[in-house]
């Protein structure tokens, strides 16, 4: 927690010193233009040192930010970065964030969402790019077109915090009530941070003023159990966007 706060302060310092901070929203609402399965914006230009803050605000949702390549948009890049999955049962505050610092702006950085449920998000066009060429063959538009054309399940491999051309120094955080983080690089195990042991369940009953908590604490045990099964189902890829 102290580390997360420190990192946030560091990101803030960067933002104050120069315009070296950019924000990308991960996922959206069903009613949003473009639907649930998108990063907003989905392509940015970011010089070295820029902290790209991915805000997991799309709710309900279950998304990742996973590095891939232009030629294989829906599979993890060897040595690539990965945020792990962040599951949101409903809109929650504070919004979970993942800070990625650009370390090599000479090459494009491509990424996708590896969630498969209810259908592969990558194939729905949930991909993004940093420093993609704006002309020629390897544009973001061409990358997204290739993702939509991708057949089969997108790659589920867990990457690392440090990727190719960009790196993070911490997992997604904070994890508010109603949210569950799992399959992170630090756990390297898609089920290591399950709701039964993870912060999702702990903060779930901690009693803040978010709407998600209000709903769930009204009948703690039964709703808690249903949340648990929903979250577990999400982990198994059975349900949820
Ligand atoms: Cu997604």
Q: What domains can you pick out in the chain, each with its CATH number?
A: 2-176 (2.60.40.420)
Mean of all residue pLDDT scores within the chain: 78
Report the DSSP pairing between strands 39-40 and 21-26: antiparallel
**Average pLDDT for 192-205:** 31
Range scoring the smallest mean pLDDT among 107-116, 141-150, 157-166, 195-204: 195-204
Tokens of 210: 């978010």
pLDDT on residue 18: 55
What does the pLDDT read at residue 131? Answer: 98
How far is ligand 1, taken at its centre, from the CA of residue 121, in Å? Answer: 5
54 Cα–ligand 1 center, Å: 13
Determine contact, residues 99/81, Cβ cutoff 8 Å.
no
| Least confident residue range of 65-74, 79-88, 201-210 | 201-210
Tell me how far the alpha carbon of residue 182 lies from the centroid of ligand 1, in angstroms: 14
Residues with CB under 5 A from ligand 1 (ion): 63, 113, 115, 121, 126
Residue 206 has what pLDDT? 30
pLDDT greater than 80 at residue 21: yes
- Residue 20 reports pLDDT greater than 70: yes
State how far the Cα of 91 lies from the Cα of 210, in Å rounded to an integer: 9
């Amino acid at each position: 927690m102290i580390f997360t706060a420190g990192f946030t302060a560091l990101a803030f310092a960067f933002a104050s010193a120069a315009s070296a901070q950019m924000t990308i929203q991960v996922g959206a609402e069903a009613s949003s233009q473009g639907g649930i399965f998108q990063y907003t914006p989905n392509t940015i230009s970011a010089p070295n040192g820029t902290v790209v803050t991915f805000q997991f605000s799309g709710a309900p949702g279950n998304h990742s930010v996973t590095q891939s390549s232009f030629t294989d948009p829906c599979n993890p890049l060897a040595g690539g970065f990965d945020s792990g999955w962040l599951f949101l049962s409903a809109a929650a505050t504070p919004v979970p964030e993942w800070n990625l610092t650009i370390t090599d702006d000479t090459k494009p950085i491509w990424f996708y969402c590896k969630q498969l449920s209810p259908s592969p998000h990558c194939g729905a066009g949930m991909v993004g790019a940093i420093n993609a060429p704006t002309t020629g063959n390897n544009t973001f538009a061409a990358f997204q077109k290739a993702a939509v054309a991708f057949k089969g399940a997108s790659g589920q491999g867990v990457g690392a915090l440090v990727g190719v051309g960009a790196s993070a120094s911490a997992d997604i955080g904070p994890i508010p009530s109603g949210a569950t983080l799992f399959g992170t690089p630090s756990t390297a195990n898609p089920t290591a941070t399950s709701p039964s042991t993870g912060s999702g369940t702990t903060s779930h009953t901690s009693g803040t003023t978010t709407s998600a908590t209000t709903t769930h604490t009204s009948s703690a045990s039964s709703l808690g159990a249903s949340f648990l099964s929903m979250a577990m189902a999400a982990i198994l890829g059975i349900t949820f966007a």
